[in-house]
Amino acid sequence: MNTLETIFTRKSVRQFKNQKVDEKDIKTILKAGMSGPTCVNSKDWSFIVIDDQEVLKQMYEANGVPAKPLLECAFAILICGDYSKAFKFSKDYFAVDGSIAGQNMILAAWSLGIGSVWLGTWPQMDRVFAQSKLFDLPNDQIPHSIIAFGYPLDEIKEKEEYYDESVVHYNKW
């Protein structure tokens, strides 16, 4: 799949087949996440890969009903912002950097035929604290988001066109 096809056909997948994802593909997905730009090249993220069904269930319980895909996915990745590496004048850039890493991982997965869904954590502090506690994270690791991955249960139907000329402005409002 070429880059534009991957971008234009990607959809959020919330139901997954009971099928493991090859370790090589997981590494490719992580490599894609680490290939995105970060503020002053800080690489201010860290990743926890979870494929233990009991831990996935605990993550679901910590994040609540919107995180239900964690109960069926093959694995998830918790993206954390690493304050120890963050840009010292504005450490919250970790949120942008984590988002870029997450999008890269989602697109890489889709290009491999692996579905995913983004499950928000930060800035909902109850979720941030619950995930921090669950993983016993050091204080400089801030849970940003969870992405559930797996092979889609159903065949993906064609995606709608999202381009909207009404929100595009050139040179002025």
Answer whether residue 37 shows pLDDT above 90: yes
**pLDDT tens column, 75-120:** 999 999 998 887 788 878 888 899 999 999 999 999 999 999 999 8
Element (H, E) at 50: strand 45-50
Q: Where are the domains of the chain?
A: 15-153
Q: What radius of gyration, in Å, describes the C-alpha atoms of the chain?
A: 17
What whole-number distance in Å separates Cα of residue 96 and Cα of residue 117?
A: 18
Q: For residue 39, name the pLDDT band (cuts at 50, 70, 90).
A: confident
From first CA to last CA, the distance across the chain in angstroms is 36
- Three-class DSSP category at 97: helix
- Is 0.85 topped by the overall pTM? yes
Fold observed for domain 15-153: NADH Oxidase (3.40.109)
